[in-house]
Amino acid sequence: MKSLQGISTNIHSSITGVITKRTSRNWFKRKDKITILCVNDQSGKIAHADAYILAGESAHKHNLDAPVVHGISQAELNDLNDGDVVLLTRDGKIKVIYSIKSNHNAIFATNRCNLHCLMCPQPSSSDAEDILKNNISLIGMMDPNRTEYLAITGGEPTVLGEGLLDLIQECKKHLPKTALAILTNGLKLAEIDFVRKIAGVNHPDLIFAIPLYSDNDAIHDMTVGVPGSFYKTIKGLHNLALFRYKVEIRTVIHALNNDRILQLSEFIYRNFPFTSHVALMALEMTGIAKVNTEKLWIDPYDYTTELAKAVQYLHRADMNVSIYNHQLCTLPSSLWQYSRKSISGWKNSFLEECSCCVQKSKCGGFFETGRGYSSKHIHPFL
């Protein structure tokens, strides 16, 4: 998530609220949400709000008793939008946990996980006691008319059990027009009763995005670190099909599975023809993936032949297929139509040599979190 660093005053515990730059009475009559007013430090009298973010070096001249983060630049203030939801911390951080202009908003449901994936960018850890309560509150702060898409991710969201049902229910209640995606490894979905409970919530637009790393059970289980995961994932996928849920199958391509991308694509078509979308993804070299660099890292250019065969196979089979997290200069032009700008805006970046590239606006870019890991074949199109 995007994060700014300021100076805190009167903040004794973290505060989550909705950004506004307006001072109309109608806005401040709303008592259902905490309002955080953004103002230029050079302005005169400041309207009442629950908390404030000020550009400039000092909050003291305004004699504010409410929580304040100040000391950010005017440019940083301008990057915050009416309707954004931010978390203000005791140490002066401003974390944007919902961006009203973004198509990549997500609920981070839990830090916990039931797998030990070799390339996990988010290592498992314990949760704060109020994480579910805070996420339900966050959903209520999102704009129901401008939130087209929302993901529930983690960690592994299904480890919440009934808590995941609560999140889905809140999304249905407060964001009835929002398409909801649950990013899950699918293991718990092998339990038909749990899938039945999810179906009982009756969310109108729900898709499950589930990773499958190989058609070979040994390779998949080696990747996720838990024996038997391959067959549980398959059962989970078929349980979702029984309830007619939309399914996206994802695979992260790495050194252990890159030579079987075509076989995996054939396996998906033959066993999961109900799949709505297949995403073939490049590694994000951060977190545990960095620890396992020698096992996992491969130059994306080196597997383009196999990638092209897999994409061609899925396309001919009339399956919706996309390439995520790749740079256009590492792909043959025949694959450009399948490449998507899939990296979240706050962690999407480019290298210096990309500055003059005429295809930059169409390119997937790089993970800011994975700096230092890029193809040897990166070059600008002039």
227 and 195 co-located in one domain: yes
List the domain range (segments joined by +) for residue 232. Answer: 106-343
Last-in-domain residue among 80, 98, 116: 98
142 and 198 co-located in one domain: yes
Q: Residue 31 domain-assigned?
A: yes
DSSP 178-231: -EEEEE---SGGGSHHHHHHHHHH--SSEEEEEE---SSHHHHHHHHTSTTHHH
**Which tokens hold the place of 229?**
């995961």
248 and 174 co-located in one domain: yes
83 and 180 co-located in one domain: no
Domains of the chain: total: 2
User: In the prediction, which pLDDT does 371 show?
Assistant: 85
263 and 125 co-located in one domain: yes
Q: Residue 375 domain-assigned?
A: no
For the entire predicted model, the pTM comes to: 0.92
Inter-axis angle of helices 229-242 and 192-201, nearest 10: 40
194 and 143 co-located in one domain: yes
Query: Which of the residues in the chain have pLDDT under 70?
Result: 23-32, 41-45, 57-63
User: In the prediction, which pLDDT does 43 show?
Assistant: 55
At 236, which amino acid appears?
G
280 and 186 co-located in one domain: yes
Here the CATH number for the domain that contains residue 236 is: 3.20.20.70
Q: Residue 132 domain-assigned?
A: yes
**Which tokens hold the place of 300?**
């994306």
Do the beta carbons of residue 366 and residue 348 sit within 8 Å? yes
Do the beta carbons of residue 353 and residue 276 sit within 8 Å? no
Last-in-domain residue among 70, 98, 126: 98
86 and 110 co-located in one domain: no
User: In the prediction, which pLDDT does 124 show?
Assistant: 86
User: In the prediction, which pLDDT does 25 show?
Assistant: 47
**Which tokens hold the place of 245?**
């849920």
Do the beta carbons of residue 380 and residue 354 sit within 8 Å? yes
Q: Residue 60 domain-assigned?
A: yes
The edge-to-edge listing of strands for the beta sheet with 3-5 is 3-5, 93-98, 85-88, 15-20, 35-40, 51-55, 68-72, 7-9
127 and 273 co-located in one domain: yes
134 and 187 co-located in one domain: yes
Last-in-domain residue among 98, 119, 147: 98
Q: Residue 180 domain-assigned?
A: yes
94 and 111 co-located in one domain: no
Here the CATH number for the domain that contains residue 30 is: 3.50.30.10
Q: Residue 367 domain-assigned?
A: no
Inter-axis angle of helices 162-174 and 131-141, nearest 10: 10
Q: Residue 159 domain-assigned?
A: yes
Nearest to 117 by CA among 258, 272, 295: 295
User: In the prediction, which pLDDT does 28 show?
Assistant: 47
User: In the prediction, which pLDDT does 60 show?
Assistant: 57
32 and 120 co-located in one domain: no
Q: Residue 377 domain-assigned?
A: no
